[in-house]
Amino acid sequence: MRRARTTGGWGQSGLSVGVVCGVIAGSTGLVSGTAWAQGSTDSDSDARVARHVGVGYKIGDGLGSLGVDLEISALPHLALDLQASWLYRKLGGSGFGVAPSLRAFLIGGGKSTPYVSGGYLWYRLTFDSGVTGWNDGFFANLGYEWKARSGLAVMLGAGLLYSRNISTSDNGRTMVLGEDGFKPNLEFGVRYLFF
């Protein structure tokens, strides 16, 4: 009877030791697996290729929601962004506008990064009466750009925009449309970076 009890005790202890060893081994494997995953992620992100030309869809910067842009990044932390938009029913008119800007990135090498940008705004409108007018201004934004390894990038920024009044002349009559002053500015873009 005592031997049976002793054997049972050892069996339970062995089971407990086995469970503890299994938990330790599992934890060790989990930790090492997590470290490996982190290491591979870091190495993958470090191995990202910087892409220097991209095209996509962009809205904001005083040009409305029907815009495209071309990005050219010849330097690791700088990019030239050429935005062009069709303006529909802006202040009662329709037309075309451009907003070239320069963006500075905190992190280069094709990685997601905060940025600061500044640019110039120009657009021309034609009204229902046939009268045309034009306007220009300046803008500055702070934002963040998410970049995927595939080359897809999404940017979102906010800041301030300053534009002047729109003046038009029709048969000696001058019409002024109030745009003068500072106002909040937003920009959003989705682009694909090629190479």
pLDDT digits (tens, 9 = 90+) for 52-88: 899 999 999 999 889 999 999 988 899 999 999 999 8
Highest mean pLDDT among 23-27, 62-66, 167-171: 62-66
- Shared domain for 130 and 91, answered yes or no, is yes
The reply to whether 93 and 185 lie within a common domain is yes
Residue 175: pLDDT band (50, 70, 90) is low
Dist. CA 41–CA 135, nearest whole Å: 48
Contact 163, 21 (CB under 8 A): no
What letter would DSSP give residue 130? S
- DSSP secondary structure of 40-80: HHHHHHHTPPP--EEEEEEEETTS-S-EEEEEEEEETTEEE
pTM of the model: 0.71
pLDDT at 7 over 60: no
The CATH number of the domain where 158 resides is what? Answer: 2.40.160.20
Shared domain for 8 and 29, answered yes or no, is: yes
Residue 187: domain span: 53-193
d(CA 94, CA 2): 99
Mean pLDDT of 88-94: 82
pLDDT for residue 8: 43
Q: What angle do CA 47, 192, 117 make, to 5 degrees?
A: 90
Q: Per the structure, how many domains does the chain have?
A: 2
Number of neighbours of residue 55 by Cβ within 10 angstroms: 14
Q: What is the pLDDT of residue 5?
A: 41
Q: Which residues pair with 171 in a beta bridge?
A: none
Are residues 38 and 67 both part of a single domain?
A: no
pLDDT of residue 21: 43
> Is pLDDT above 50 for 165?
yes
For residue 167, pLDDT over 70 is answered with: yes
The three-class DSSP label of residue 38 is: helix
Tell me what the mean pLDDT of segment 22-31 comes to. 40
Q: What is the rounded distance in angstroms from the CA atom of residue 150 to the CA atom of residue 48?
A: 10
Cβ neighbours, 10 Å, residue 168: 18
Q: How many Å apart are CA 36 and CA 56, to the nearest integer? A: 36
Q: What is the pLDDT of residue 47?
A: 54
pLDDT computed for residue 169 by the predictor = 67
Same domain? For 144 and 111 the reply is yes
**Which residues, other chains included, contact 136 with Cβ-Cβ below 8 Å and sequence gap of 6+?**
120, 121, 122, 123, 163, 164
- Residues 5 and 78 occupy one common structural domain: no
pLDDT at residue 117 tops 80: yes
User: Is residue 43 located within the same domain as residue 57?
Assistant: no
Q: pLDDT-derived band of residue 170, with 50, 70 and 90 as boundaries?
A: low
